[in-house]
């Protein structure tokens, strides 16, 4: 199974799964559906998806399991911009940067 962040039939983006044994578009499975917020990026870390959304000109981070079930929202220090969240599927810790008008760029860890 391969996972793709795409704007195919979703202008604000979504995540789909494609089974390489049946790669026809009719067999694509939606994992994380499009929402009212733009999905700017998504990473798989610790066998979970970490979605970076743009909501009201600020970053919103949501965590989903591999089936697309919402797990939690990451609480950021204040309104601002976060990025990073890279890692491997079998790693359970990731790092991200956060900055705002009142907060200098800082590095945080997420498990």
Phi, psi of 87 (to 5 degrees): 160, -170
**What is the arithmetic mean of pLDDT over 7-16?**
97
**Cα separation of the two ends of the chain:** 24
CATH code assigned at 79: 2.120.10.30
Q: How many other CB atoms are there within 10 angstroms of residue 98's CB atom?
A: 20
Q: Which domain holds residue 79?
A: 2-110
pLDDT at 111 over 90: no
How far apart, in whole angstroms, are the C-alpha atoms of residue 85 and residue 103? 19
Hey, what are 61's tokens? 């981070």
- Residue 54 pLDDT class (50, 70, 90 cuts): very high
Mean pLDDT within 10-28: 97
Q: Can you list the alpha helix ranges (DSSP code H) found in 1-111?
A: none
pLDDT-above-90 percentage for the chain: 91
| Confidence band, pLDDT 50/70/90 cuts, at residue 58 | very high
Q: Total domain count for the chain?
A: 1
Q: What global pTM score does this model have?
A: 0.91
Best CA proximity match to 51, nearest among 83, 8, 18, 28 = 83
Look at residues 45, 41, 44 and name the one whose alpha carbon lies nearest to residue 93: 45
């Amino acid at each position: 199974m391969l996972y793709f962040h795409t704007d195919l039939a979703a202008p604000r983006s979504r995540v789909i799964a494609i089974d390489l044994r049946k790669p026809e578009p009719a067999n694509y499975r939606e994992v994380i559906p499009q929402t009212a917020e733009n999905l700017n990026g998504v990473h798989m870390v610790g066998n979970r998806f970490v979605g970076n959304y743009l909501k009201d000109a600020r970053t919103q981070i949501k965590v989903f399991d591999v089936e697309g079930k919402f797990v939690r929202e990451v609480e950021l220090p204040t309104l601002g911009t976060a990025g990073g969240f890279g890692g491997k599927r079998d790693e359970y810790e990731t790092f991200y940067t956060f900055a705002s008008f009142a907060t200098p760029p800082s590095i945080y860890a997420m498990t």
